[in-house]
Structure 1
């Protein structure tokens, strides 16, 4: 994931996030602000990027971009000065954004969202490098992102994310992923986001596309200090797939992942977690599994440093207030 090469990028985006938060932007109603994207030419634009480009900088009104069914073969970027955008697809089985870039996590993403207040519904985000239709065992396994999300207060509903290594870079900010699908093999949900994944499907492909690397890693969370509020929370999710994987490995010295009331198949390795480069400092890592079920959910053989949370500790994470104390989700466009 080219950690050293991305330090500057993350620092810059942290500063951008800080300044955007300080403005406490409140997006106004989307009444009448409809842009239609249709490849047939019957809409306002034929590409999603054209629709985004048409929105004025520093917009404060929700802009509703209605996207027709189809495979949109383009890289899509929402720049940091264009908040308040609602990408409304026809369903994750019908509307898909696909590209096949690779190598650099800072450049390879099919979809990049940098501003605050972004909503996406019913869209598939796919990086086709190493997976169909570009599946090729001769291709080196390397970072090939489907999406990278920097901005605060971003929500994704009924979306799908396909990749192999580093599928979703949940980089910075508070995010909600509801009823979404994630597919990959190596660190395919990674970053320093403060996010809740609710009723999502997480599908491992280590045994399908990477037979030479049978053990995958699902998460790589990058929390870097004891007072860092970030972490990934999975609630009411399903972890399945082909091959075997650790639930996560530490991408930061204080990496944090909580899994609650979720189903785990036999694809989950008994140890569950890996300290990665932080062996000897496992006490700083914050991994917990509570009230999970399934053949891979047994914790008797888990790493000895797996946390056991009290009811009070658990409630701090599984409550929506973990990411939404001020009620920003209710103020977004109605799904």
Structure 2
């Protein structure tokens, strides 16, 4: 996230902050295959000869899926490095499945502006991505930006430096993912749980980095980032988050914090003097960076009843959409 965003980008972010409640609740129908729940599978293999249902590019396969699709469709992406920009604009009920984050990699070289640089963009509802890494070729570019509600990522990688993962709006679930960056590399106004996610901040010893920049802008917004288990590690001085929004909310629960985590832990950024509005908390964390004796005095202490509000069932999975996925 650039420190000074152009007015148009700021306008887009403000609109997105209020869009969550008015989205339609898209429901995906299961396909004929009772076991997999998908209607059909498209195969992408950059090394094969194109023929029906087999494509050389991911975008070509996606373009065959009707807009506003309401049945689960799997796009299986064979191992390889795919140099293309992938966008799900009006594509709902899509399951992108790679062979593993070390084998299926999507990369692109685009850096016109933050809101145009993403290698992967998703606006659709009910999107699943499994076993894929997104890695822009430019140092300061977005690996993935996620606007769609009810989006889930399993065993994926997001590799970048600044603004790696734009977790923009909607309810999102990240499980067993690896996220790497340096400056605000998990940012946006999403309502998300990162479960057993590993965040890496790779720097020279004299550098400062920020894991999160969460953009909650009012006490009425339901957004926030919740990290359960996993680890934060790297070199230099790592802050767990800084306030991109005046009501920014980030919670680490049971996470292993490496020795590079700054003693202060958190940064108020533009909310200096209004720190009481921020919700930054660490619960049952461990590791050499988990010592809270020198943390900022305004870090929140959550009671068990308050922490329960940020459990998977209460925070993002109220209508059990995760259980209906073909994973």
Q: TM-score w.r.t. structure 1 length?
A: 0.90
Shift of 1:9: 2.1
* Equivalent residue in structure 2 for 1:86, among 76, 89, 95: 95
Q: Structure 1 residues 258 and 14, CA, compared in 2 at 3 Å: closer, same or farther?
A: closer
Matching residue of 1:188: 185
**Contact 1:260/1:318 (<8 A) preserved:** no
Matching residue of 2:317: 324
Write the deviation string for residues 285-330 of structure 1: whole angstroms up to 9, x where unpaired: 1000000001101111000000001010011113432101000000
**Contact 1:235/1:318 (<8 A) preserved:** no
Structure 2 Cα separation of the partners of residues 321 and 53 of structure 1: 35
* Unaligned ranges ≥5, structure 1: 131-142
Matching residue of 1:249: 242
Matching residue of 2:64: 54
**Contact 1:200/1:236 (<8 A) preserved:** yes
For the pair 1:172 / 2:169, whether they are aligned, the reply is yes
Structure 2 Cα separation of the partners of residues 45 and 17 of structure 1: 34
**Contact 2:126/2:150 (<8 A) preserved:** yes
For the pair 1:117 / 2:126, whether they are aligned, the reply is yes
Shift of 1:243: 1.9
1:134-283 alignment, distance < 5 Å = 143-207=140-204, 214-283=207-276
Equivalent residue pairs, number: 315
**Contact 1:76/1:110 (<8 A) preserved:** yes
1:13-92 alignment, distance < 5 Å = 13=16, 17-19=20-22, 21=23, 23-30=24-31, 31=33, 32-42=39-49, 44-79=54-89, 81-92=90-101
Q: Provide the aligned C-alpha RMSD in A.
A: 1.5
Partner SS, residue 322 of structure 2: coil
Q: Structure 1 residues 205 and 152, CA, compared in 2 at 3 Å: closer, same or farther?
A: same
Structure 2 Cα separation of the partners of residues 95 and 151 of structure 1: 22
Structure 2 Cα separation of the partners of residues 103 and 261 of structure 1: 39
Worse-matched range after superposition: 62-71 or 28-37: 28-37
Structure 2 Cα separation of the partners of residues 319 and 144 of structure 1: 30
Matching residue of 2:301: 308
Shift of 1:18: 4.5
**Contact 1:37/1:51 (<8 A) preserved:** yes
Matching residue of 2:13: 10
Shift of 1:10: 2.8
Q: Structure 1 residues 103 and 269, CA, compared in 2 at 3 Å: closer, same or farther?
A: farther
**Contact 1:96/1:124 (<8 A) preserved:** yes
Partner SS, residue 120 of structure 1: strand
Structure 2 Cα separation of the partners of residues 105 and 158 of structure 1: 25
**Contact 2:193/2:312 (<8 A) preserved:** no
Structure 2 Cα separation of the partners of residues 103 and 214 of structure 1: 26
Write the deviation string for residues 179-208 of structure 1: whole angstroms up to 9, x where unpaired: 00000000000000000000010000122x
Structure 1 Cα separation of the partners of residues 30 and 49 of structure 2: 25
Q: Structure 1 residues 18 and 310, CA, compared in 2 at 3 Å: closer, same or farther?
A: closer
**Contact 1:183/1:205 (<8 A) preserved:** yes
Shift of 1:12: 4.8
